[in-house]
Amino acid sequence: MNVNETTVDRRTMLRVAGATAIGLPLAGCIERIGDETGATREDLVLAPPASHDRARETDVPHPIYGDDLPEATVQAPLHDRSVTTTEFVGDRATMLTFVFTSCTTVCPGLTSTLRRIQADSIERGYADEIAFQTVTFDPEYDTTDVLREYGEKQGVDFDVGNWYFLRPETPARATSVVEDTFGVAFERADESDPTESENETTDDDHTESDGETGDTDHDGMNESDGDTDETHDGHGRSHRHFVHTSLVLLVNRDGLVERAYAGGPPAPRTVLDDARTVVEEG
């Protein structure tokens, strides 16, 4: 089942601070576990996260535990071909996240989350049982060379062949894939209303906080999830800010979401244990 693209009110998603503040018509677009046509508990490896019932009741815009992985086909410039997000379903587990490379706050942590699992997969011999997809929502800046340099700085091992940087061809396509299909809201803060605060939160208080743990400051309800960082680097671009929600998806080999870590980079140990379990028992 593919998730239909759904237009989401970007500003509402970025401003929302609680479950009751949002009313998104997504229940008919993403099949939730327990729905008549959705996944059953037997299809999943991990137990439901503590806040799953709340996330399901509030119809969060992004995929959550038990949902099918949404499908979108995007260019993977470092591989010189296109990749479909569901390409590895039936073959291996998949982890995905959504970033812009000139970010200096939240996004490096999201990328590092996947990179740690990649390193563990190499060390423990399951690199061919998991794939990593990092989707940029800033294709104007994130060229092939920029993505390669970013990956190298983040410690990504490209030689293993299981890491894919996905780059939508245009900003409009980035919105279609990242926001409409995956429910990850983003907005160019340097092009928005100048009266808006640079510290505007993108707190996912309404989401399931799969990464809840005492090991991290990011428990799904932090107040600094939004990245409005001003950047200036050697590529000649400055003053690029994005306010955005953050999400890391852990998907089993059957294409079902086992964890949706929202609200900031999740606790490394939690994700490591979850990923190992999904790969070993899935």
Annotated binding site for Cu cation: 103, 107
- Which DSSP state fits 232? B
Rounded Cα gap, residues 26 and 159, in angstroms:
39
Residue 98's contacts (CB-CB under 8 Å, 6 or more residues apart) are: 110, 134, 135, 136, 137, 178, 182, 184, 186, 244, 246, 247
- Containing 120, the helix (H) or strand (E) segment is helix 106-124
Per the CB < 8 A criterion, the answer to whether 74 and 136 are in contact is: no
What is the pairing mode between strands 73-76 and 186-188? unpaired
Both ends of the chain: CA-CA distance in Å? 19
- Neighbour count for residue 29 (Cβ, 10 Å): 16
Q: How many residues does the chain have?
A: 282
The number of helices, as runs of H, and strands, as runs of E, in the chain is: 6, 9
| Binding-site annotation, residues | 103, 107
